[in-house]
Amino acid sequence: MFNQIDYRGKIIKVIHKAEEIQKRSEQIRCQGKSIVLVPTMGFFHEGHLSLMRKGRELGDDLVISIFVNPAQFGPHEDFESYPRDLERDLQLAREIGVDAVFTPDNMELYPEGFQTYIELEKLPNHLCGLSRPVFFKGIATVVAKLFNIVKPHVAIFGEKDYQQLTVIRRMVQDLNFNINIIGGPTVREPDGLAMSSRNNYLTLKQRPTALTLYKALVKAKDLLKNGVKDAGEIIQVATKLITAHPETGIDYISICDPECLDTIKTIDKPALMALAVNVGKTRLIDNMILYP
């Protein structure tokens, strides 16, 4: 495997060892330069690339990590089959002008005897956390590790994974990470489907069905615009809309407080509408802030 690629005179460094990138980051920080980190699980789509472009603007040194984190997958989830294409990812990253890519193997991040995990007591007891019990524990732990390894000033996460962003913001505050967390807006296909690496699992037949998540959110926005403030009513309409399509299994549709994620009954301040729906065997999520 190459460990640096030259692109238009710009070198992208590919680093596998935590210690190596730690040293590099120390040096960069001491030069008074700012480091931006975009953590990813790879298999880039336009959503990832938009976060990197934002990162390119926000700091001097742009680092991305590519690591499919086993700790955030449950035993029956898609860790093994999660799509991977490192060569293509590196190509895309260097086109954007990423300075360094951290791609550790599992043993580098979870060596024998590993036993330390970060858990939040409240935020994971909502939305995705209810059906994915180890998910946010795995996320918080690996992100803290990446923060300690890359030592960024700024880290960027997609708003599509809204609950993840909320968990990370809270962890950063609670554990006194001195890092500015930035959210990047969800990037959508032309018809509105939120971009996701898991969209690759969808069959051609399932593809229109996948769009119902977005349609349900838009419908909710319309209803609110027309004066419907009752969350229960909006969720009912969304449920009907989604279950009218074949192969759909709703995990949750929730209207909640955008910070603490507690359920909201009446939308009289900005609320998060979030949903998770299985389309065939593929679990998709989407969300939108509803402004009354």
61-66 vs 100-102, strand pairing mode: parallel
Name residue, tokens 């006194």.
176
Q: How far is the CB of 1 from its own copies (least distance, A)?
A: 22
Of 1-9, 26-34, 39-47, 241-249, which segment contacts its own copies by CB under 8 A?
26-34
Q: How far apart are CA 100 and CA 4, in angstroms?
A: 9
* Residue 48 bears catalytic tag: yes
Measured CA distances, 97 to 28, 62, 169, 175, 288 (Å): 17, 8, 26, 31, 30
How many Å apart are CA 21 and CA 291, to the nearest integer? 42
Of 11 and 260, nearer to its own copies (C-beta) is 260
Stretch that binds its own copies, among 5-13, 23-31, 193-201, 231-239 (CB under 8 A): 23-31
**188 DSSP β-pair partners:** 194
Residues 68-127 that bind its own copies (CB under 8 A): 111, 113-123
CA dihedral 78, 71, 136, 272 (to 10 degrees): -30
Residue 32 within binding range of its own copies, rule CB under 8 A: yes
Helix axes 231-243, 212-225, angle to 10 degrees: 150
Please identify which of the residues 48, 76, 126, 245 carries the catalytic annotation. 48
Among residues 101, 171, 187, 211, the one that binds its own copies under rule CB under 8 A:
171
Select from 30, 57, 107, 268 the one that contacts its own copies (CB under 8 A): 30
Count of residues in contact with its own copies, rule CB under 8 A:
34
Asked whether position 141 contacts its own copies by CB under 8 A, the answer is yes
204 binding its own copies? (CB under 8 A) = no
Cα 227 from Cα 116, distance rounded (Å):
49
Angstrom distance (rounded) from CA 169 to CA 164: 9
Beta carbon of residue 26, minimum distance to its own copies (angstroms, whole number): 8
Which of 10, 105, 175, 244 is the binder for its own copies (CB under 8 A)? 175
Q: What are phi and psi of 262, to 5 degrees?
A: -70, 140
Residue 27 in the binding site for its own copies (CB under 8 A): no
Residues paired with 180 in a beta bridge: 154
By annotation, the residues acting in catalysis are: 48
Q: Which residues form the interface with its own copies (CB under 8 A)?
A: 18, 22, 26, 29-30, 32, 111, 113-123, 140-141, 144-145, 148-149, 151, 170-171, 173-178, 260
